[in-house]
Structure 1
Amino acid sequence: MRALLSLDGISVRHEIHDVGWGPARPRQVTAALHAGEVVLLLGPSGCGKSTLTLTVNGLIPQVIGSHMDGTVTVGGHDTRTTPVPRLAAEVAMVFQDPDAQIVTGTVLDEVCFGPENLLRPASDVISMAEQALRQVGLWDRRHDAPEHLSGGGRQRLAIACALALRTPVLVLDEPTANLDPAGVDEVFRTLREVTAGRDRAVLLVEHNLDAAIDLVDRVIVLDADGRVVLDGPARSTLADNADKLVELGVWLPAAALAALRLRTAGIVLDPLPLTPRELAAALDATPALPAPLQRASRAPVSQTAISVRGLSVLRGPAKVLDIADLDIGAGEFVAVVGSNGAGKTTLAQALAGVITARRGAVTVDGLDPATADPRLLAERVGFVFQNPEHQFITSRVDDELAYGLRVRGVPAEEIEARVGELLDRLGLRELSAVHPFLLSGGQKRRLSVGTALVTRPRVLVLDEPTFGQDRERAAELLTLLDALHADGTTVVVVSHDMTLVAEHATRVVVLGGGRVIADGPPEEIYADAELLATADLRPPPIAQAVRALTHHPGWHGLTRLADLPAVETSS
């Protein structure tokens, strides 16, 4: 069978400012995708996954400055020499950053843009656009401007644009990164429909393996140097190489991570479960299970760090935020969750002073973010944007970290020490001279977190901090946040990652329609099925598994991996 997509010895190098050509990432990748295959590309952050996807439609090397060795062939066309517009008839792509591919003024025009440029008949264009928008739940918003959609809404729009082209090859780079749990389910349901005919080849970069595992047929794994180290059937490759994948720092399904943790306590689940359903069945087949670990009690909150009274924010004629009262205590770790468009990012921006056109009273560490001196506010409140590129202002990674300290007149020796500490802690030391825009998506996210941490603020507000991170780097970031929280920093995280919320937050604020519709500890929020359905949320995979247990009812209240019996090691 002729391959729809062939990669033969692909290596890509990017030019680094003041340094020259950087190391190849990816390196010597050879693979073929055939009709009917859905292939998952895994690897640690910075190994070249996104770069590899950009070679498939010719953007590398034709548009993005880089040096590529090897050959990519799509539908019989060499992507090095075939014009990019011609390749658009063969391969459609969803970029890691959906804003990078939006070019028109309305949602409908955006989806029509691709088929129109392929010279499809007008009647077909409208039909293709309508079908794609209905598949992602945006048909009713077809006349809206894309900028009026939430981040998750723009992610859905980018997916619709790719689907409308109906190309033989579909490439998706983190297509669910900004989506609420219900949206994730919807995207993968749509992808199952699209791939049901087995006439397309799909290349998928995705960290959410819990959602992807039932879709993908095959897994290709890159190591930190960008080389292929595994390539095989999805389920057996993940299950048989779980320890190696953990060592590489890539994501595994939560059920597999749970089984690996239980193994340290002498509970061996064989075969390794990959879904909540499989984990539940394996646990129920185990005659005796020890009691789960007890969650540490929370210290009472004595001071208020954040106070919100009558906060409302308008976007055009629509009120996107309408919060009567919200108090967050000093030293709390609060997760803000809810469906796409619920107002989460708007709330985070109001707390950080990014949004000043609002009504009501907001106080953060004694300051009104809308009127406070920006330098003083930045010393008290650190903010990480949903899109890290929105906050980069220099041409080097180390300068980006140092900038906030320099404008405050911090001594050079202290700046050097703080920047060096963060470069090491965030795994960016070797990239210190690289332009921030040339980093991978995960590296950009770590840098954006570093720019917020470098001033050592007392309040830290982060919008999707683990977006684009491999498992190891996400764990490092969250360990860092936990340490800051333990030292008394107030941490507010906007996240769609229900596992992150369960494992780390001391409190969950649920938004719906711009209002607070629930507020409580994670275990209480996840126990309310009606609330979860209303807010388009899902329990984390561990909670889904243990609630299905028949023989071990004492485990029904678990929500975290950290609650599972295990023998902790120093590593």
Structure 2
Amino acid sequence: MPVTPALLDLRGLRVRHHLPDDDGGYRLGEPAPDGVDLVVHTGETVLLLGPSGCGKSTLALATNGLVPHVVGADVDGTVITAGHDVAGHRTPELAADVAMVFQDPDAQVVTATVLDEVCFAPENLCVPADEVLRRAEAALRQVGLWDRRADDPAVLSGGGRQRLALACALASGARLLVLDEPTANLDPAGVEEVYAVLRRLTTSGERGVLLVEHDLDAAASLADRVVVLDGAGRVATEGAVRDVLVGQADRLAALGVWLPTATLAALRLRDAGIVVDPLPLLPAELTAALDALPALPPPSPPSTARTTCRPTAPATSAADAPGPDADAVVRVRDLTVRRGGRTVLDGIDLDVARGELVALVGANGAGKTTLAQVVAGVLRPRRRDLTGSVRVAGLDPRRAAVRDLTTAVGFVFQNPEHQLVTTRVDDELALGLRRRGLPEDEVAARVEDVLRRFGLTHLRDRHPFWLSGGQKRRLSVGTAVVTRPDVLVLDEPTYGQDRERAVELLDLLTALHDDGTTVVVVSHDMQLVAEHATRVVALADGRVVADGTPDVVLGDDDLLHAAGLRAPALARATRGLRDPAWRGVTRLADLPSAPLVGAGA
């Protein structure tokens, strides 16, 4: 039987980026990846893992020649895509064989409507017009965007633009799909839908997929093989999904790589003397393993107060609005916002008390990012597009002077590149402090502290746009944290982060919250929300549909499904247990265990 040629065959791939130097030329960066062998066949999904900065995104860009033909770099080794040596072919020549979804979907949007965007690739490949339209409709229906085909991509949510990027890849007809964090901004229901599409494509033998992903609770059931890079960009291990993620869980934890929640929970239980053998990969396996034990000790007492969920509806008049909260640092009343002819927020009433850590959750397009941006003053709609009122630390974000507003509230964009404006990492951190007129010695001390906390010290002189996606995210958060605002608003703060850096970031946010900083986080990561939030506000169709503590909001399956969400992985594992004391466990911190080093809680 003849052997089918690989869709992708990397041999000894070593990449050193061209970094600008002070003389107007360039210098070579450290190799990442460094000597990687990797193969992807038709009909399989290969999951690429590794800590932030190890070269995962660079490897992805090398598969279609963007590295080195567009992004300057010295490349050693060979990259063969669909039988073509990438070194001898320009990126457009490879477009029929390999389609890419970037870590940042905004980087690949080029037209004015959703339909035109999806038609763009097959049109440029000279596909007949009727076939172009057939492909475009099929792709948009697969990702749930057909009804928005006439919209400008700019009015889509971040998750909507990720769906659009995937539709463009599907419509191209390329046999190899290279997906760099394709679900990072998708709600849990959207993740399930996207992975269902990819599963159909690979099981039918139509395509092969190279997937860079941190959400292993979803990806573990899709992937066939795993390749793990270490911090130096070399292959640390590879093999079947279960053999690597479960069989080498301790090694991956030491590398700072994400693990499935069920596996991580079992490791924590092991530290408490509760042996789960074999380690589980999926929540259902953890449920079965715990039920098989002779007895379970009681879970740890929750560290935050538990209150009842408060279903809410938009106020119809001032008399119906929630009563004033004297301690509220954020106060929103009857807020309605329209964008692109659509009502994005509809009668929002919300108080956030000083020192809370509030998570805004909901499906893509629910209005989370718009609410966060209006609160932070980043989005200032025209008078005709906004009604109601917003106050943050006593300021109206629409009218306050920028200097006053940035002292009161810090904001971290969903896309970190939207807030990077200088040419050095340390200057980026110092910019806001210098504009406030702080003494230079205090500026230097604060910058050094953030560089150290966020693992950016060795990159201090690097141009921010030359950082990896995860490093850019840490820098963007650092620029907000360094100013020590009263209110910190973050949109998907762990996007693109490896486990070690995500834990460090979340621990820092928790410490800021403990010190009295009010933190508002937009997130689709339900396990993150369960672990760290003191309060969850769920939005659907621009309205607040629930407001309460994480255990209550995230424990209501009917509410979660109505809002396009899913319960955290640990909650899915524990709610079916025979022992009723364990059915409300949603957080790793509630397990009877000493903390696993680097696991966070």
TM-score, normalised relative to structure 2: 0.93
Corresponding position of 2:149: 142
Query: Which residue, out of 104, 111, 123, partners 1:104?
Result: 111
Name the aligned partner's letter for residue 29 of structure 2. G
Query: Which residue, out of 581, 587, 591, partners 1:554?
Result: 581
Corresponding position of 1:207: 214
**For the structure 1 residues 299 and 513, does the alpha-carbon distance in structure 2 shift closer, same or farther, using more than 3 Å as the test?**
closer
Give 1:338 shift.
0.5
Q: Following the alignment from structure 1 to structure 2, what is the Cα–Cα distance between the partners of residues 18 and 416?
A: 23
Query: What SS is found at the alignment partner of 1:14?
Result: strand
Q: Following the alignment from structure 1 to structure 2, what is the Cα–Cα distance between the partners of residues 238 and 228?
A: 15
Structure 2: where are the runs of 5+ without partners?
Answer: 308-324
Give 1:85 shift.
1.0
Query: Which residue, out of 373, 384, 389, partners 2:401?
Result: 373
Corresponding position of 1:524: 552
Corresponding position of 2:474: 446
Give 1:55 shift.
0.2
CA contact (8 A) 1:18 1:433 kept: no
Corresponding position of 2:11: 8
Q: How does 1:25-64 map to 2 (within 5 A)?
A: 25-64=32-71
Corresponding position of 1:321: 345
Name the aligned partner's letter for residue 408 of structure 2. R
Give 1:200 shift.
2.5
CA contact (8 A) 1:17 1:433 kept: no
Q: How does 1:391-540 map to 2 (within 5 A)?
A: 391-540=419-568
Give 1:296 shift.
2.0
Q: Following the alignment from structure 2 to structure 1, what is the Cα–Cα distance between the partners of residues 44 and 235?
A: 18
CA contact (8 A) 2:451 2:457 kept: yes
C-alpha distance after superposition, 1:15-35 (max 9, x if no partner): 333372110111111122222
Name the aligned partner's letter for residue 323 of structure 1. G
**For the structure 1 residues 535 and 37, does the alpha-carbon distance in structure 2 shift closer, same or farther, using more than 3 Å as the test?**
same
Name the aligned partner's letter for residue 350 of structure 1. V
CA contact (8 A) 1:308 1:323 kept: no
C-alpha distance after superposition, 1:518-559 (max 9, x if no partner): 10101110222211111001110000011122x222111111
Q: Following the alignment from structure 2 to structure 1, what is the Cα–Cα distance between the partners of residues 447 and 350?
A: 35
Q: Following the alignment from structure 1 to structure 2, what is the Cα–Cα distance between the partners of residues 374 and 67?
A: 43
Give 1:199 shift.
4.1
Q: Following the alignment from structure 1 to structure 2, what is the Cα–Cα distance between the partners of residues 527 and 75?
A: 47
Name the aligned partner's letter for residue 410 of structure 2. G
CA contact (8 A) 2:424 2:462 kept: yes
**For the structure 1 residues 272 and 356, does the alpha-carbon distance in structure 2 shift closer, same or farther, using more than 3 Å as the test?**
same
Name the aligned partner's letter for residue 259 of structure 1. A
Query: What SS is found at the alignment partner of 1:466?
Result: coil
Structure 1 residue 175 and structure 2 residue 202: aligned? no
Query: What SS is found at the alignment partner of 2:274?
Result: coil
Q: Following the alignment from structure 1 to structure 2, what is the Cα–Cα distance between the partners of residues 323 and 485?
A: 28
C-alpha distance after superposition, 1:67-106 (max 9, x if no partner): 2111101111111111211100110111100010111111
Between stretches 75-84 and 241-250, larger displacement belongs to 75-84
Corresponding position of 2:123: 116
RMSD: 1.4
CA contact (8 A) 2:16 2:30 kept: yes
Q: Following the alignment from structure 1 to structure 2, what is the Cα–Cα distance between the partners of residues 312 and 214?
A: 40
Structure 1: where are the runs of 5+ without partners?
Answer: none
CA contact (8 A) 1:94 1:158 kept: yes
Q: Following the alignment from structure 1 to structure 2, what is the Cα–Cα distance between the partners of residues 296 and 327?
A: 23
Query: What SS is found at the alignment partner of 2:87?
Result: coil
Q: Following the alignment from structure 1 to structure 2, what is the Cα–Cα distance between the partners of residues 529 and 244?
A: 35
Corresponding position of 1:390: 418
Query: What SS is found at the alignment partner of 2:554?
Result: helix
CA contact (8 A) 2:169 2:177 kept: yes
Q: How does 1:291-310 map to 2 (within 5 A)?
A: 291-298=298-305, 303-310=327-334
Q: Following the alignment from structure 2 to structure 1, what is the Cα–Cα distance between the partners of residues 126 and 97?
A: 14
Q: Following the alignment from structure 1 to structure 2, what is the Cα–Cα distance between the partners of residues 562 and 161?
A: 41
Moved over 3 A (4+): 297-302, 568-571
Give 1:302 shift.
6.7
Q: How does 1:171-320 map to 2 (within 5 A)?
A: 171-298=178-305, 303-320=327-344
TM-score, normalised relative to structure 1: 0.98
Name the aligned partner's letter for residue 555 of structure 1. W
Give 1:483 shift.
0.2
Give 1:298 shift.
4.0
Q: Following the alignment from structure 1 to structure 2, what is the Cα–Cα distance between the partners of residues 506 and 40?
A: 33
Corresponding position of 1:351: 375
Name the aligned partner's letter for residue 159 of structure 2. G
Q: How does 1:71-82 map to 2 (within 5 A)?
A: 71-82=78-89
Corresponding position of 2:365: 341
Corresponding position of 2:320: none
CA contact (8 A) 2:43 2:201 kept: no
